[in-house]
Amino acid sequence: MKSNITVKYSMMTTCIVLIVTIINVVGIALILMQSNLDYALLEVLVGMPILELTVAIYFGIKFSKKVTEPMKEVIEGVDNLEEGKYDILYDEDGIYKDVKVKLNNLARTLKQNEIERKKIEVMRNEWISNITHDIKTPLSSIKGYAELLENYSDFTEDEIKQYGFVINQKSEYIKELVDDLNLTIYLKDDKKILNLQKANLVTEIKNSIISILNDSIYSEREITFESNKNIVEETFDLKLLKRLIDNIIYNALIHNNDDVKICVEVLKIDRTHIIIKDNGNGISEYDLENIFNKYYRGTNTSYIHKGSGLGMAIVYNIVKAHNWDINIESKLGEGTRIEIII
C-alpha cells in the first residue's frame, strides 16, 4: 500500500490527460477531414496534441511524485504508530509539514505514555507483592499460635495471654492494612465527600503530636512544634488532617534511628504552610521520585508500630483531596523536609 500510492496517482493523472488529449485529437481530425487543408498540415495539427500528451504525462508523473512521496511518509508514520514503533520520527518539512509535526508529537507522547505504563505496571506488581508479603507474615504467626492453643492444653496462664496478645497484635495489623487500602481507594474516588470544617490548624496539629508522644513506644522520641501564630483557621476534614500528620511523623519515626529529631512548623504567610522535617537517614532519589505512588517498603510486622506501608500514598491523596500542594526534599544522611501548602 505504501509503494502503490505514487503509481495509482500517476496512472490517474495520466489517464485524465490521455482522455482529454484523445478527445482533442479526434475533434481536430474530424474538423480537418471536412476541410481542404493538405495532409502535411493535418499531420502537424494532429501531432501537436500527441506532443502535448507526452509532455503532460511527463510533468504529471513528476508532479504526482512530488505530491505522493511526502504522503507515503505520512501513511508510513501512521502505520508505525499503529505497530507501536514510536522511535521513528520524520523531518518536519515539505507540503505536509504540519501533519509531520503532529505525527512526531504524537509519537513522542505515545512513547512517554508507554514508558509510564510500564513503570506503573512494575510498581503495581511490586505493590501487590509487598502487600501480599505483609499480610502473609502476620497470618503465619496467627495460624501458628492458634494451632498451638488448639493442639496443646498444658500452657500456663501467662503463655496463653502472651499468645493471645500476639494474635491480637497481628490481627490489628492486618485490619489496619485493609483499612488503609480502603482509604486509598476512597480518596481516589472523584465522588468522595469530605467532612469539611473550619478549625484552628495549630490546635489540631498539636493534638496529633501529643497523641503520638503519649504512645509508650514513642514517648521518649523528640518531636518539637513551632508556629508564627497561635490561631490559624483553615477549612479541612479533621480526621483526614490527623491522619496526614500522623502518617508523616510515624514514617519519620519508623524509618529512622531512635535519636531522630522531628520538627513540625505552621507558618501563616500569604498561604498556610505545614512543614515537617527531620535529621534522619534521608531518602534516595529513586524512592523520593516514587514515594507518593508506591507501596513504601520497610514495614516490619515483628515491630509494633503504626503504619501499613501505604502511609505516604495516603498523605498525597489527602493533600490532593483538599486541593492543597505538597513538596518533599530529602538527601541521604541529612534528613527529609515535607511541606504542605494550603
The whole-number average pLDDT for the span 62-80 is 69
CA-only gyration radius of the chain, Å: 38
Which ranges of 97-236 would DSSP assign to H, the alpha helix? 97-151, 157-187, 201-213
Encode pLDDT of 276-310 as tens digits.
999 999 988 888 887 886 555 544 444 444 555 67
Instruction: Identify the residue with better confidence: 10 or 131.
Output: 131
For residue 336, name the pLDDT band (cuts at 50, 70, 90). Answer: very high
Global pTM exceeds 0.85: no
User: Residue 295 has what pLDDT?
Assistant: 57
User: Which residues, listed in sequence order, are joined to residue 264 by a DSSP beta bridge?
Assistant: 225, 276
Asked which of 3-7, 90-94, 275-279 is least confident by mean pLDDT, the reply is: 3-7
* Overall residue count recorded for the chain in this entry: 342
The whole-number pLDDT of residue 238 equals: 93
- Which comes out higher in pLDDT, residue 339 or 125? 339
Q: If you average pLDDT over every residue of the chain, what do you get?
A: 78
> What is the average pLDDT across 114-121?
81
**Contact, 301 vs 286, CB < 8 A?**
no
Q: Which residue has the higher pLDDT, 5 or 181?
A: 181
- DSSP element (H, E) containing 276: strand 272-278
pLDDT in tens, 181-226: 888 788 877 777 888 999 999 999 999 999 999 988 888 999 999 9
pLDDT value, residue 82: 77
Mean pLDDT over 83-93 rounds to 77
- For domain 197-341, give the CATH superfamily: Histidine kinase-like ATPase, C-terminal domain (3.30.565.10)
CA 55 to mean position of chain CA atoms = 58
Choose between 4 and 119: higher pLDDT.
119
pLDDT at 178: 83
Q: Report the C-alpha dihedral over residues 139, 143, 145, 146, rounded to 10 degrees.
A: 130
Q: How confident is the model at residue 1 (pLDDT cuts 50, 70, 90)?
A: very low
Nearest to 97 by CA among 105, 87, 88, 108: 105
- In this prediction, residues 264-274 reach a mean pLDDT of 95
pLDDT value at residue 303? 44
Asked which of 163-167, 262-266, 320-324, 325-329 is least confident by mean pLDDT, the reply is: 163-167
Once rounded to an integer, what is the mean pLDDT over residues 76-103? 77
Predicted confidence (pLDDT) at residue 246 exceeds the cutoff of 70: yes
Looking at domain 126-187, its CATH class is: mainly alpha
Ordered by start, the domain boundaries in the chain are 3-85, 126-187, 197-341
pLDDT computed for residue 302 by the predictor:
43
φ, ψ dihedrals at 104, nearest 5°: -65, -45
Residue 150 CB neighbours (<10 A): 8
Q: Which of 175-184, 249-258, 306-315 has the highest mean pLDDT?
A: 249-258
**142-164 pLDDT per residue, tens:** 888 888 888 877 888 888 888 88
pLDDT recorded at residue 73: 73
Q: What is the mean pLDDT of residues 92-119?
A: 81
Q: What is the pLDDT of residues 303-321, one digit of tens each?
A: 444 555 678 888 998 999 9
For 12-32, the pLDDT digits (tens) are 555 665 565 666 555 555 555
pLDDT value of position 54: 66
**By mean pLDDT, which of 66-75, 220-229, 264-273 is the weakest?**
66-75
Question: Residue written as cell 490546635?
Answer: 203
Instruction: Note whether 247 and 315 are within 8 A (CB).
Output: yes
